[in-house]
Structure 1
Amino acid sequence: MKKILNLIYVPLLVLGLSGCEDFLTVQSPDQSNSGNYWTTQEAALSGLSAAYSQLYNGGGWRFHEYGYTLEPFREDMISMGPGASGYGYMTSIFNFTYNASSSLPAYLWNYNYWGLSYSNQVIDKVGAMDPAVFEQGMQERIIAEARFMRGYYHMKLLLNWEKIVVREKYITSEADIDKALSPRDYAWDFIVKDFKYAASKLPMTRGTSDKGRATSAAANAYLGYALLTRSYEETARKDEFLTAAAEALKPENFVGYSLVPMNQWLGMFNGTNENSSESIFEIQFSPVTSGNAYYKHQMHYWVASEELGGWEGILPSDGLVKEFKKEGKVSTLGGYDSRMYSTLWFKDDYFNGNPENVWGWNYDEWFKTDKPVFRKFIPTAVSGMEADETAMNIMLMRYANVMLMRAEVLNEQNHPELAKPIINELRARANMPGMKGSSQAEVRAQIEHERIVEFALENYRFYDLRRWGKVKSALEAVGRTGFDPSRHNFLFTPQGEIDSNGQIKK
């Protein structure tokens, strides 16, 4: 039988969508009795759970290896730590020596295709259900959520591969499996269409019982991101895409979202301020393990330094530290940008008791040299490192990103005067003075700086650099010379897909 590993609908115990932990025992519905399963609203919601489940990349160690190796190791603000340096499949990403047979890109490909396959299943099955079994508007809403997830998974693929197989429908026969790689503009059109549909049908915000579920705000945020990215790729249509991005990212589409105060900023990344007013799309992890559910990860070990009891798989680069420090101690509090203190632990009076320290001890007691390490994704106390796994949520999209994308769109539309106040609002949150300069070039440079210091370790930087055509120069600036844009701007189509899909040519 033809190999179809990339399209198998693996039976999963999947995360449910209301009551947060109540749904952790729900099973994937696509079993031998599939024809009898899709008869109730509860069944439709559990089917939707399967679409969300692939955000977890399998959970546990898989989550950080597949997501927090493959993406950050290709950028300049991250260094590979000793916890990763002994593993060839990780070092190949950092050194750009991977190929079509490399395992990490293949896993990313698989998880995203499984996710969009589950999404297509919901769109197909729920669309055919009797409307009478649903609460008013719920059938349409579930389909809209599935289309958001389908757009999201397709976009993750298209950000990493130059061409992908667009899967428009749920596969029910072997004849539908083989399919050629789609033209890039066709893939973008498909993604945009799904996000637009979801934005038109979903509520703008969610209540406590629906934490983590997609909203029209999430759909508009990713729609704006897709269109902004596309405006750089298809320069002949740049104005068209910028105009559409501005429409998606306008403030009216994000009513109810706002920046959290700086003293709550770190909480978005250490479990103390989850699903905040700034959160637009956030992966919901849970310590619950009933029914063999597994929605925990090991990011705290992956990120924490050896001194703090972690594996030290990932470290800030010298470039990131320099970027944080380049304006000097000009904040209204008398120090560096407040985001630096919430992103990193580093040698400074601030962490030697004036006013903070590191888990109850001064920085100099933990670290004998000047060694900046990440503070993001680290527990708030040393006791947090005692658990093998953590259930702290992971942010995927927040309102600060919407603001900076909006500023970038306005600036590229030759309106730096409209972009500057947005930038300054983010800087004020970080206790920083307003930016200097007002030209388009100066605002463009400031946007890059703000995206670096705001989103360190949030996996946007590589895509930012590629959008701006700056990956090679940025990597060379931190001493990494292995990047060849013609080979490494995008990942290679996995060999497993080439071997199993008769419509893809080598």
Structure 2
Amino acid sequence: MKSKIMIPALLLMAASFSSCEDYLTLESPDKLTSSSFWRDQSDAEAGLAAAYSQLEYYIDTWEFAEVKWPVEAYREDVVKIGADVPNYPNWMELYNFTYTNGNSQFASYWSNNYRGISFSNQVIDKVGGMPDDKIDPTIRKQIVNEGKFLRAYYHLKLILNWDKIIVRDHFITDQADLSAPLSERATAWDFIIADLQDATELPVSHNSDNLGRATKGAAYSYLGFACLTRAYEEPAQKNEWLKKAADALSNVKGYELEKNFNTMFDGSNKNCKESIFELQTSMSTANGANYRTQFHRWIGCSELWGWDEILPSETLVKEYMKEGMTATTGRYDSRLYYTIFLNCDYFNDGTGRMYGYDYNDWFEGADKPAFRKFLPGDMAGLEANYCAINVPLMRYSNVLLMQAEILNEQGNTPEAISLINKVRDVHGDMPPMTGSSQDAVRAQIEHERMIEFPLENWRWYDLRRWGKTKSALEAAGRAGYDDSRSFYPVPLMEINANDQISL
């Protein structure tokens, strides 16, 4: 999704935003509309680019960080809010679980993902209907399957955060279709899984001009995750869904763990061998492109010139230290130092590990852990007003730990331990885990996922899958949660606009 993918998206978006109202307007013969745009392969690729452009809503400099992370991460026990957050009541509501259905942040999250679904449906419907003399059938099939991957991805983001969602399975051209009821959860899962299954026919990889586009490995990874999640939601069919998850994940091939863990998150190692699906960024503003943000300011603490919006919790720091200084480096798990800046000998050894300085030079004796993950790797990047740090959305370590979880639940505990130890060794410089029982491995998987994925926002879904949300939040000293807050309420703006949904 480099320039070749990103720039055409901007050309289509103006037509796409108004496409739902085509039935109200007359078509001008000299202007592109949703009915006249889809002419050939070039149009098909531009339409696909528009569908990709909605990923995590990165095209919006502000909403990318100010919607995604408050909505997804503020609920988690591994983070706490920074000093600036009380200035934003709608963020505080998310952190304190006091939100109503009028909260603007998850309303934007809802709308942004449905916009992505609309763009994806246009690709599926319009490109799928192109004749052979306008587009190569092989390319047509690939583009349609990429559209299905994206449609599944956007629906997946919604079903993970709402108990019931509206399944949008076609591009809306009739006003009567705008209002639609919420689907049963099983129906939504069936739809997502079917789209991901179709997407498994995608290529294994893409050339350098098309990095970031969905692949076979990405489709199988998310298919495995969907089936794993469903296994816990439907206990009567747990074994069936675990098997489907295992089968899908066994087809994720050609990836390796990246030894230099921190480089996957500081902009220096984009699309590395561990990355399966990654949000593409660029500092280029050519032709009006906008794929850079101030994300590093949002993640950064005030001492590192950030806005102090999100910090690691004490619970997270303690989790990294739980096994003691048993790493082969003689320190704690290496993922601690790759993920968090903190007051310790490692960052105060006089070697300038923090942008040429020690921790105490920046924090002046304060004891304030701060996230290192997703900050630029050098001083020039930290000083810059904008950044273009890719965001790994699915990594191979996630696949390995999901496989370990499935194997353990199926009773194949020794095989699960082998996969856990692989991640521990490469990313944490840690010795093999202790313990060999199924319960011990469950606990180890929770530990590994907790310290492997901070700020990648898998923790909430993990806790809910395991039935541990309430106990984890209570252990972290977080108040206000009960199980009615496991999912967000349908946004008020959707209820007001949709006569098939009521309070």
Alpha-carbon shift at residue 439 of structure 1 (Å)? 0.6
1:221-260 alignment, distance < 5 Å: 221-250=221-250, 253-260=251-258
- Name the residue aligned to 2:87: 86
Alpha-carbon shift at residue 18 of structure 1 (Å)? 6.6
- Name the residue aligned to 1:488: 485
Alpha-carbon shift at residue 23 of structure 1 (Å)? 4.2
* Residues matched between the structures, number: 485
TM-score (norm 2): 0.94
Match of residue 411, structure 1, among 408, 416, 425? 408
Alpha-carbon shift at residue 377 of structure 1 (Å)? 0.9
Tell me if 1:326 matches 2:322. Answer: yes
Question: Residue type of the partner of 2:106?
Answer: P
- Name the residue aligned to 2:11: 26
- Name the residue aligned to 1:465: 463
- Name the residue aligned to 2:22: none
1:88-487 alignment, distance < 5 Å: 88-135=89-136, 137-199=138-200, 201-250=201-250, 253-261=251-259, 264-353=260-349, 357-367=353-363, 368-429=365-426, 430-485=428-483, 487=484
How far apart in 2 are the matches of 1:387 and 1:442? 45
Question: Residue type of the partner of 2:292?
Answer: K
Q: Which runs of 5+ in 2 are unaligned?
A: 20-31
Question: Residue type of the partner of 2:458?
Answer: Y
1:32-71 alignment, distance < 5 Å: 32-57=32-57, 58-71=59-72
Residue 171 to residue 21, structure 1, CA distance change in 2 (3 Å): closer
Q: Is the 8 A contact 1:18 1:211 kept in 2?
A: no
Q: Which runs of 5+ in 1 are unaligned?
A: 1-15
Alpha-carbon shift at residue 383 of structure 1 (Å)? 2.7
Post-superposition Cα deviations, 1:223-280, rounded to whole Å, max 9, x if no partner, equal: 1111111111010000110000000001xx222211111xx21111110000001111
How far apart in 2 are the matches of 1:42 and 1:222? 28
Match of residue 498, structure 2, among 488, 491, 501? 501
Q: Is the 8 A contact 1:38 1:126 kept in 2?
A: yes
How far apart in 2 are the matches of 1:314 and 1:154? 27
How far apart in 2 are the matches of 1:169 and 1:211? 27
My pick for the range that moved more, 121-130 or 51-60, is: 51-60
Alpha-carbon shift at residue 503 of structure 1 (Å)? 0.8
Q: Is the 8 A contact 1:148 1:195 kept in 2?
A: yes
Q: Is the 8 A contact 2:312 2:371 kept in 1?
A: yes
How far apart in 2 are the matches of 1:17 and 1:391? 12
How far apart in 1 are the matches of 2:5 and 2:131? 27
Q: Is the 8 A contact 2:2 2:282 kept in 1?
A: no
Task: Determine helix, strand or coil for the equivalent of 1:300.
Answer: helix
Task: Determine helix, strand or coil for the equivalent of 1:490.
Answer: coil
Post-superposition Cα deviations, 1:321-356, rounded to whole Å, max 9, x if no partner, equal: 000001111001101111111001111111123655
How far apart in 1 are the matches of 2:9 and 2:230? 37
Q: Is the 8 A contact 1:162 1:491 kept in 2?
A: yes
Post-superposition Cα deviations, 1:402-450, rounded to whole Å, max 9, x if no partner, equal: 1101111111111111100000001111210000001110000000000
How far apart in 2 are the matches of 1:239 and 1:223? 16
Post-superposition Cα deviations, 1:446-494, rounded to whole Å, max 9, x if no partner, equal: 0000001111111000111111111111111111121011x20000000
How far apart in 1 are the matches of 2:12 and 2:347? 47
- 4+ residue stretches of structure 1 with deviation over 6 A? none
How far apart in 1 are the matches of 2:372 and 2:5? 27
TM-score (norm 1): 0.93
How far apart in 1 are the matches of 2:12 and 2:294? 24
Task: Determine helix, strand or coil for the equivalent of 2:255.
Answer: coil
Task: Determine helix, strand or coil for the equivalent of 1:282.
Answer: strand
Alpha-carbon shift at residue 401 of structure 1 (Å)? 0.4
My pick for the range that moved more, 145-154 or 207-216, is: 207-216
Q: Is the 8 A contact 1:112 1:156 kept in 2?
A: yes
Q: CA RMSD in A?
A: 1.5
Q: Is the 8 A contact 2:279 2:391 kept in 1?
A: yes
How far apart in 2 are the matches of 1:302 and 1:289? 21
